[in-house]
Structure 1
C-alpha cells in the first residue's frame, strides 16, 4: 500500500476495501455485504420507496431495513441481501474464473 505525507499527516492509498485496510476480521465478506446494501439503498431511492414499502417488497421487517440503512446488516446474509435486490427488480450475475493468486477473492461488480 502506497503512503505519503500530506500536510504532516501520513496518507495511504486504499486497497479498495476499507475494512481490510483497517484490519477488520472477515473484511471481504463485510465489503460484499456493504456493496449489496448500497445497491439496495440506491434501488429504494430510484423506486421512491419508504422503508416500510421496501421491507414489504423485500420480504423483511422494516426494522431490518432501518438497520441496513444505518450500516447494520449483521442479521442479513449475503444471500438474503441478493434476494432483496432481486425483489427490487435487479438481476445478479455470479462469475467464476481462475484466481491470479493461490487464494481467490469474492468481488461484487456494480453496474
Structure 2
C-alpha cells in the first residue's frame, strides 16, 4: 500500500490538476453562497426566489452537491445574490 500525499482533498479526488483547481473554486463559491443564505436567514424557498433558481437547486447547493454546479452557474448565482467575486491567479508551487 503506497502512502501518496496530496496538498488537498480536491487533489486526491480529481484525476488532473485542472479538475482539482476547478473543484476548489466551485467549493469556495458554494461555501460563500451557503454562508450568505444562512446569514440572511433565508429559507430555501426565499433563497431560490432571490437567486432565480428552484428550491431543489438551493437544496443541492446547501447539501454540497458540488458535481451539480458549474463555475459559471455559481458566479451567476453570486452576482444575483448581490455578491462580488474576485479572483487571483498565482503560479503553482
Note the C-alpha offset of 1:70: 1.3
Give the TM-score normalised by structure 2: 0.76
Q: Are residues 1:24 and 2:14 paired?
A: yes
Select 1:90's aligned residue among 83, 89, 92: 83
Note the C-alpha offset of 1:23: 3.7
Report the RMSD for the aligned CA atoms in angstroms.
Answer: 2.2
Note the C-alpha offset of 1:41: 0.4
Instruction: Kindly indicate which of the two structures has a greater share of residues assigned to helix.
Output: 2
Task: Point out where structure 2 has 5 or more consecutive residues left out of the alignment.
Answer: none
Structure with the greater alpha carbon radius of gyration: 1
Runs of 4+ more than 6 Å apart? none
Note the C-alpha offset of 1:74: 2.7
Give the TM-score normalised by structure 1: 0.66
- Tell me the residue number matched to 2:56: 63
Aligned residues: 87
Decide whether aligned partners of structure 1 residues 19 and 96 sit closer, same or farther in structure 2, where only a CA change above 3 A counts: closer
Instruction: Kindly indicate which of the two structures has a greater share of residues assigned to strand.
Output: 1
